[in-house]
Amino acid sequence: LMIKEYLKCLLIFAKIGISAFGGGYSMLPLLQGELVTKRHWLSEEELTDYFALAQCQPGPLAINISVLISAQRYGAWGGLCGALGMTLPSFLVILILAMLMENFASIPIVVHALNGIKVVVAALVMYSTYSMAKTGIKNIATVIIFLAALVLLALDLINPIIIVLAAAATGLVIGLIKKKLKNREEN
């Protein structure tokens, strides 16, 4: 029975992996459609949480999120199946394209097709940003964290990892302060 579930997990992430052109951020709408809307494995907020957690881990975002979600659902073997499902189709496509690209890279229609893909990837990233902002920006504190992170990233003054860690620490401090204030009101 579990082998059937592992295979299902592998195939679900393979479907997402084969469709996710442009990296981790562009796959958020695919994850949302497949895992939140269609299969009800996660809520919107849980997907956003997994996405944030996957960004904090070293390694490719797509693999990290597939492992986190599938391991939570099916354990360690499920995590492995999620990772294989996410990477195997892309690996095969890239292998085939790499063999063909050397011969076709200078053909104008191929160049135009690749430019078209870049535009769609940019749109997917913008949509992902919008979706994550909807679930993550909930009050004035999160608006301030968002804007501060956006400015620091745009100015390229601080390493993005430090920005993520600082935002997490700030959110934690705000949560602790709110909890302390709530406890005072109840007493």
pLDDT (tens digit per residue) in 96-153: 877 877 777 778 888 888 888 888 888 888 887 888 788 888 889 889 999 999 999 9
Give every CB contact of residue 155 below 8 A, 6+ residues apart in sequence.
Answer: none
3-state secondary structure 105-160: CCCHHHHHHHHHHHHHHHHHHHHHHHHHHHHHCCCHHHHHHHHHHHHHHHHCCCCH
pLDDT value for 21: 65
Q: Residue 69: its pLDDT value, please? A: 94
pTM: 0.58
The DSSP symbol for 54 reads: H
| Residue 79 contacts residue 67 (beta carbons within 8 Å) | yes
Q: What was the pLDDT predicted at 60? A: 84
Residue 99 burial by CB count (10 A; 0-12/13-18/19+): exposed, middle or buried?
Answer: exposed
Whether the CB-CB separation of 70 and 87 falls below 8 Å is answered with no
Specify the 3-state DSSP secondary structure of 40. coil
Point out the least confidently predicted range of 67-81, 88-102, 166-180: 88-102
pLDDT at residue 155 is higher than 90: yes
Q: Is the pLDDT of residue 20 over 80?
A: no
pLDDT digits over 21-69, tens only? 666 677 888 888 899 999 999 998 899 888 888 888 888 888 899 999 9
pLDDT tier for residue 78 given thresholds of 50, 70 and 90: very high
